[in-house]
Structures are given as C-alpha cells and as structure tokens.
Amino acid sequence: MNVHIGDLELKAKMFRGFADPTRLSILESLRDGGKVVGAIAAMTGQSQSNVSNHLSCLKECGLVVAKRDGKTICYSIANQLVLDLLQDSDLVLGEIRGSICSCARYEHKSEG
C-alpha cells in the first residue's frame, strides 16, 4: 500500500480536531445529540466563549455542523462516521489503556 505524504498530513490535521482535550470533550458531549453552546459549556465545564471558539474549529474541519433555528444555533456531530470514530477510539483505548497510561512521550501538560 502506497501512502501519499499529503494524505498523511491531511489525516494528521483531522486528528488534531480530536487531540485537543476541549475539542474532544465537545465532541463527546455531542455523541447523544445536538446541543446549544450553553449546554455544551455546562457539560464540558468550559466557558461559552471558549466552547464557541472550539466549535468554530470543529465546524470548519467538518467534524460538527450547525443548524440555526431563529436565534438559536444547535451543534451536532457532522455524520455517523465521526460518531463511529469516537466509538472505535473507546474500543481501542479499552485494549491498550495500560500502554497509553505508561507512555512517557505524550504526557499531559498542566496549565500554568
């Protein structure tokens, strides 16, 4: 199988949407259906402005969609394949949790 460098860079760019803890928490909050920014903020413990900024990124990358109903905007996962990827990541994590926990190359950096 030949792997094109441009395809790898594009795939890496897609995974950056999942790599940020705030963006991932937003995606996780949308797994059971669409929500408005305030509800997402409450579920994730983030400010509404922070959630809005991350939603813009996720929308631009095609991971979420926004539907306007009057003054209200409801955000949801863009398609079933994104939901499948989140589900599959749970399965993979279940298999390799111990290795991920002991991996020293990708330590969580605390704020400050």
Q: What is 42-81 written as a DSSP string?
A: HHHT--HHHHHHHHHHHHHTTSEEEEEETTEEEEEES-HH
pTM for the model stands at 0.85
Measure CA of the first residue to CA of the last residue in the chain; give whole Å.
Answer: 44
Structure confidence at residue 71 (pLDDT): 93
Mean pLDDT of 82-111: 86
Structure confidence at residue 47 (pLDDT): 97
Span 17-27, pLDDT tens digits: 899 999 999 99
Please say if the pLDDT value at position 110 is more than 60: no
Structure confidence at residue 26 (pLDDT): 98
State the CATH class of domain 5-102.
mainly alpha
Structure confidence at residue 4 (pLDDT): 77
Span 48-95, pLDDT tens digits: 999 999 999 999 999 999 999 999 999 999 999 999 999 999 999 999
Structure confidence at residue 112 (pLDDT): 39
Mean pLDDT of 5-33: 92
Residue bearing tokens 């963006």:
23
The structural domains of the chain, with segments of one domain joined by +, span 5-102
